[in-house]
């Protein structure tokens, strides 16, 4: 990788100007000393201007921010014109692999949205390609960037919580049928997957990060209870981890869209950790065996480490933290928090779960060979 100086403004492009890309735009606009948005790409020629317009109120110096942006409908043309240092990839999940591969080969570093790709084989291939080319992939695993999470991870790594007994993760991220009807790729096995692959994949990743462990097996069941989609709207299962811990998982999109919730629980010898997000409101508790809640202590430590203004930005928009991390990783040649490896491990976790549904038995992880998600069309969902 070329040497980048601390003050270099990196050129950023975004490919895919749909729902999530607004979070990328807002994050980049807050980092104008470090990066410049140079291109927006979408096959729908109206999408870039609609996207910018939708972000107008949240972007300071909107006109000057927009002045450097060129719009494209073909990302390959953009890559050869702009030579971006960073590409934010926010196209439908089924396109992640090809777009990410082309961007890496054109010399870009990536903020790749989750899930990394739709296959365990291609996710690993992307990770290895980036390693070989000396490029950085940071994943859109937003939960890793929530306040205090990095400290909890570090204390787990340092053994401060003792042995982990078990964990539990709940993702009740309700979406209605209008959401599934809003684009042809949503809720399909080939291009999106269901509640696990889309809404829960980064929550599974957070459990690995917090428990400082990787899964060794999974057994699960899925159903489609309420939503008009091909893949599952509900999944329940259990993972075992390489530290012996069990982790139960509930992932669903069939709950009410106005009551979205993600909750994480870890039962360790010296602390029980709860992180939650419900209706956009975060909650944290780190309880000692004597019942003392250390959450404020962690928050104070976190503010001391990252500063109040970073905390405010990242609490409003975790993608801000991801772009900061990517910038640091490129300029300081350090590994990002949500690295490419976390991307393919999380995809492997989801596909292992799906395989266990198909096989009706527990499945070992990592998967020994490619599991084709299209095989899930053989499963009868109720």
Ligand X SMILES: NC(=O)c1ccc[n+]([C@@H]2O[C@H](COP(=O)([O-])OP(=O)(O)OC[C@H]3O[C@@H](n4cnc5c(N)ncnc54)[C@H](O)[C@@H]3O)[C@@H](O)[C@H]2O)c1
Select from 16-24, 53-61, 218-226, 304-312 the region that touches ligand X (CB under 6 A).
16-24
**What does each C-alpha distance from 91 to 85, 95, 302, 357, 372 come to in angstroms?**
18, 6, 33, 28, 20
94 or 286: whose CB is closer to ligand X? 94
- State the minimum distance, in angstroms, from the CB of residue 139 to ligand X: 8
Q: Cβ distance 221 to 253 under 8 Å?
A: no
Within residues 139-178, the interface with ligand X by CB under 6 A covers 140, 142
- State the minimum distance, in angstroms, from the CB of residue 23 to ligand X: 7
183 or 294: whose CB is closer to ligand X? 183
Question: Locate tokens 């980064």: which residue?
Answer: 202
44 or 243: whose CB is closer to ligand X? 44
93 or 234: whose CB is closer to ligand X? 93
Within residues 216-245, the interface with ligand X by CB under 6 A covers none
Q: Which of 106, 129, 151, 183 binds ligand X (CB under 6 A)?
A: 183
- State the minimum distance, in angstroms, from the CB of residue 7 to ligand X: 29
Question: Locate tokens 């002045």: which residue?
Answer: 67
- State the minimum distance, in angstroms, from the CB of residue 352 to ligand X: 19
- State the minimum distance, in angstroms, from the CB of residue 372 to ligand X: 19
Return the axis-axis angle of helices 340-359 and 201-211, rounded to nearest 10°. 110
- State the minimum distance, in angstroms, from the CB of residue 224 to ligand X: 19
Q: Which of 95, 294, 315, 358 binds ligand X (CB under 6 A)?
A: 95
Reading across the β-sheet that carries 281-287, which strands appear in turn? 281-287, 272-278, 261-268, 164-172, 246-252, 234-241, 215-223, 363-364
Give the number of other Cβ atoms within 10 Å of residue 238's Cβ.
Answer: 17
Within residues 100-139, the interface with ligand X by CB under 6 A covers 113-114
Nearest to 243 by CA among 208, 200, 295, 278: 208
Q: Calculate the CA dihedral of residues 199, 253, 24, 311 and round it to 10 degrees.
A: -80
Distance from C-alpha of 89 to C-alpha of 128, rounded to nearest angstrom: 18
With binding defined as CB under 6 A, does residue 381 bind ligand X? no
- State the minimum distance, in angstroms, from the CB of residue 362 to ligand X: 27
Q: Cβ distance 277 to 268 under 8 Å?
A: no
Pairing of strands 246-252, 261-268: unpaired
**What does each C-alpha distance from 64 to 27, 42, 61, 69 come to in angstroms?**
16, 22, 6, 10
Nearest to 264 by CA among 280, 279, 285, 245: 285
Task: Name the residue number minimizing CB distance to ligand X.
Answer: 18
183 or 379: whose CB is closer to ligand X? 183
Distance from C-alpha of 324 to C-alpha of 312, rounded to nearest angstrom: 14
25 or 91: whose CB is closer to ligand X? 91
Q: What share of the chain is helix, strand, coil (3-state, %, to 5)?
A: 40, 25, 35
Q: Cβ distance 325 to 331 under 8 Å?
A: no
- State the minimum distance, in angstroms, from the CB of residue 217 to ligand X: 26
110 or 156: whose CB is closer to ligand X? 110
Tell me whether residue 16 is exposed, middle or buried, using C-beta atoms within 10 angstroms of its C-beta: 0 to 12, 13 to 18, 19 or more: buried
- State the minimum distance, in angstroms, from the CB of residue 87 to ligand X: 11
237 or 318: whose CB is closer to ligand X? 318
Within residues 32-91, the interface with ligand X by CB under 6 A covers 41-44, 47, 75, 90-91
- State the minimum distance, in angstroms, from the CB of residue 225 to ligand X: 21
With binding defined as CB under 6 A, does residue 342 bind ligand X? no
Select from 19-27, 59-67, 76-84, 239-247 the region that touches ligand X (CB under 6 A).
19-27
Residues forming the site for ligand X (CB under 6 A): 15-21, 41-44, 47, 75, 90-93, 95, 113-114, 140, 142, 183, 198
């Amino acid at each position: 990788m070329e040497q980048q100086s601390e003050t270099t403004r990196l050129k950023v492009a975004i490919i895919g100007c749909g729902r999530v890309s607004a979070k990328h735009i807002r994050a980049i606009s807050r980092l104008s000393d470090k990066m410049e948005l140079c291109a927006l790409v979408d096959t729908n020629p109206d999408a870039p201007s609609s996207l910018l317009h939708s972000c107008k109120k949240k972007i300071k110096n909107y006109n000057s921010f927009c002045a450097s942006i060129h719009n494209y409908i073909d990302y390959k043309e953009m890559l050869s014109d702009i030579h971006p240092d960073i590409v934010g990839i926010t196209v439908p999940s089924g396109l992640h692999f090809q777009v990410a591969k082309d961007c890496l080969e054109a010399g870009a570093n990536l903020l790749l949205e989750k899930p990394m790709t739709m296959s365990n084989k291609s996710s690993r291939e992307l990770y290895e390609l980036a390693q070989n080319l000396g490029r950085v992939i940071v994943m859109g695993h937003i939960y890793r960037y929530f306040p205090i999470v990095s400290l909890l991870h570090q204390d787990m790594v340092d053994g401060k919580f003792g042995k982990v007994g078990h964990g539990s993760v709940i993702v009740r991220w309700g979406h209605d049928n209008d959401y599934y009807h809003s684009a042809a790729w949503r809720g399909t096995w080939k291009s999106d997957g269901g509640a696990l692959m889309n809404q829960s994949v980064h929550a599974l990743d957070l459990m690995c990060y917090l428990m400082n462990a990787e899964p060794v097996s999974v057994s699960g069941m899925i159903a489609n209870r309420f939503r008009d989609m091909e893949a599952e709207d509900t999944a329940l299962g259990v993972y075992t981890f390489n530290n012996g811990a069990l982790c139960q998982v509930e992932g669903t999109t069939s709950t009410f869209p106005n009551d979205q919730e993600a909750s994480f629980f870890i039962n360790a010898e010296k602390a029980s950790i709860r992180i939650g997000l419900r209706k956009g409101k975060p909650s944290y508790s780190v309880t000692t065996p004597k019942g003392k809640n250390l959450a404020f202590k962690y928050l104070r430590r976190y503010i001391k480490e990252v500063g109040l203004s970073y905390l405010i930005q990242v609490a409003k928009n975790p993608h801000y933290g991801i772009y900061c991390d990517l910038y640091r990783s490129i300029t300081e040649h350090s590994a990002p928090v949500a690295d490419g490896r976390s991307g393919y491990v999380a995809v492997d976790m989801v596909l292992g779960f799906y395989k266990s549904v198909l096989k009706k038995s527990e499945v070992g992880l990592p998967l020994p060979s490619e599991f084709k998600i299209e095989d899930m069309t053989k499963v009868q969902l109720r």
